[in-house]
Amino acid sequence: MTEAIKMKTDIVIVGSGVGGLYCALKLPRDKKIVIVTKEAADKSDSFLAQGGICVLKSEDDYDSYFEDTMRAGHYENNKRSVEIMIRSSRDVINDLVGVGVRFEKKDGEFVYTKEGAHSTPRILFHEDVTGKEITSHLLKAVRALDNVEIIEHFTMVDIIEKDNECFGIIGRDKNGEYTSITADYTVLGTGGIGGLYKNSTNYRHLTGDSLAVALLHNIKLKNIDYIQIHPTTLYSRKRGRRFLISESVRGEGAVLFNSHMRRFVDELEPRDVVAKAIAEEMEKDGKPYVWLSMKPIPTEQIKSHFPNIYKHCLEEGYDVTKEPIPVVPSQHYFMGGIKVDEYSKTSMDRLYAVGETACNGVHGKNRLASNSLLESLVFAKRAANRIAKTYSKAKATRERKIDAEKYKNCEETYKKAVLAAIEKEREKHEQHNDGA
């Protein structure tokens, strides 16, 4: 048993992506908040988002936006969650603009782009670095708050729980020292699970730690085998994170070719359909990639709307204004997660989950492009409002020492446990579908 450092706060948030940051920003200023994050605060998938963020651009678009989200999700979406997300979108965008986020405008009006499975342009963007624009402004706003402390390079390894009630977390810093942070409320915002897979667009340190902790404490999970494969990431023999070629590239006209330079799929079908068609084509041709051509997009538009993609591909030896690039599907997004209600509350008292690690059912079986930043923000705000409205002090917990031995190799055991649980859920779904 190790004598741990002890901290006490009102609310502890795990993760500094859009979910965690926006939740902190929306919590009452008279509460002491600690945000812990596994790496530096700006190392989150939220910073990587390229394409944009959806918004209900006018009442006329409501039915169509709702239907597009449902259709992409194979109609397995939770309709109430979809409604909440769409109806709350304008408020969230106004908030973002309020903290200084800049979206593309023309003549003073927002410009909207389109991605696969959207029947109309309704996505706000900032070049092809929308996530960085949004998250860096949220981080700046949170850093300016006196009531929030951010602890970087600190990994949550467990929660403090008794009788299905959460009293905070246990974490380890980069020197291997353990700290217990007790809190009245805990919010998990640890993002996706890409770090569990060889090919993923996600940061490698996102390994679904909250899911592992949930499994340890019998917290309910939902649809954890619903994992989105993005159709187009830049093919590379190098190890590490895969570079995303945003779907809005196809939304603006880019086309896919097989090895015979023939088109083989409608590029604007939902992601799972396009990814499956690419995988089939690769299998047929015996190639590890297909081609994506951005030539239908005017050169000036490529350079102004997709400067990051243009630059990255040049660095990898491809001039996208002149030649096609090799692309391959990769793990990208996690639709399932810790089961939460419409206020982002988990099945455990005093424990909330927000962002990609949570599942409120909004995405169903497959996420519609550019719905995830929005979903993370909308439901993080709802978590903050709910905590504020129902706030009560937690009863004091018994001081306990930390069993450091238990967490010594937890990275590996947690990864295995999550992958095994995903496989179990997949088999359950398959059996259910066979029986249906």
- Which range of residues in 8-16, 87-95, 251-259, 306-314 is near ligand FAD by CB under 6 A? 8-16
Tell whether residue 191 is a contact of ligand FAD (CB under 6 A).
yes
Instruction: Give me the least distance between CB of 267 and ligand FAD, in Å please.
Output: 17
Which positions from 89 to 128 touch ligand FAD by CB under 6 A, shown as an x/- string?
----------------------------------------
Name residue 257's beta-bridge partners. 291
- Which range of residues in 71-79, 137-145, 184-192, 282-290 is near ligand FAD by CB under 6 A? 184-192
In SS3 terms, 157-203 reads as: EEEEEECCEEEEEEEEECCCCEEEEECCEEEECCCCCHHHCCCECCC
- Which range of residues in 34-42, 88-96, 98-106, 297-305 is near ligand FAD by CB under 6 A? 34-42
Report the length, in residues, of the chain: 436
Tell whether residue 251 is a contact of ligand FAD (CB under 6 A).
no
* Residue from 271, 350, 367, 382 carrying the catalytic annotation: 271
Tell whether residue 252 is a contact of ligand FAD (CB under 6 A).
no
Looking at the Cβ atoms of 180 and 376, the one nearer to ligand FAD is 376
Which member of 25, 93, 96, 156 binds ligand FAD (CB under 6 A)?
156
Tell whether residue 297 is a contact of ligand FAD (CB under 6 A).
no
Note whether 230 and 222 are within 8 A (CB): no
Tell whether residue 190 is a contact of ligand FAD (CB under 6 A).
yes
Q: Which of residues 348-367 bind ligand FAD (CB under 6 A)?
A: 355-357
Tell whether residue 372 is a contact of ligand FAD (CB under 6 A).
yes
Q: Annotated catalytic, 80?
A: no
Looking at the Cβ atoms of 85 and 294, the one nearer to ligand FAD is 85
Which token pair is 360? 């409120």
Q: Sign of the C-alpha dihedral, residues 144, 149, 155, 158?
A: negative
Instruction: Give me the least distance between CB of 358 and ligand FAD, in Å please.
Output: 8
Instruction: Tell me the residue type at 224.
Output: I
Tell whether residue 138 is a contact of ligand FAD (CB under 6 A).
no
Which member of 373, 387, 410, 422 binds ligand FAD (CB under 6 A)?
373
In angstroms, the CA 433 to CA 326 distance is 35
Note whether 245 and 328 are within 8 A (CB): no
Instruction: Give me the least distance between CB of 284 and ligand FAD, in Å please.
Output: 28
Looking at the Cβ atoms of 46 and 223, the one nearer to ligand FAD is 46
Which member of 7, 9, 10, 16 binds ligand FAD (CB under 6 A)?
16
Total of residues contacting ligand FAD (CB under 6 A): 44
Which member of 8, 28, 32, 39 binds ligand FAD (CB under 6 A)?
39
Q: Which of residues 374-393 bind ligand FAD (CB under 6 A)?
A: 376
Q: Sign of the C-alpha dihedral, residues 68, 71, 77, 78?
A: positive
Which member of 89, 155, 232, 331 binds ligand FAD (CB under 6 A)?
155
- Which range of residues in 49-57, 88-96, 272-280, 420-428 is near ligand FAD by CB under 6 A? 49-57
Tell whether residue 49 is a contact of ligand FAD (CB under 6 A).
yes
Which member of 206, 348, 362, 384 binds ligand FAD (CB under 6 A)?
206
Q: Which of residues 316-335 bind ligand FAD (CB under 6 A)?
A: 333
Tell whether residue 52 is a contact of ligand FAD (CB under 6 A).
yes
Which token pair is 164? 């299905």
In angstroms, the CA 233 to CA 292 distance is 10
Tell whether residue 46 is a contact of ligand FAD (CB under 6 A).
yes
Q: Sign of the C-alpha dihedral, residues 130, 18, 217, 415?
A: positive
- Which range of residues in 14-22, 92-100, 404-412, 417-425 is near ligand FAD by CB under 6 A? 14-22
Catalytic site residues? 271
What are the residues binding ligand FAD (CB under 6 A)? Answer: 14-20, 36-39, 43-46, 48-53, 130-131, 155-156, 189-192, 201-202, 205-206, 209, 244, 333, 355-357, 370-373, 376
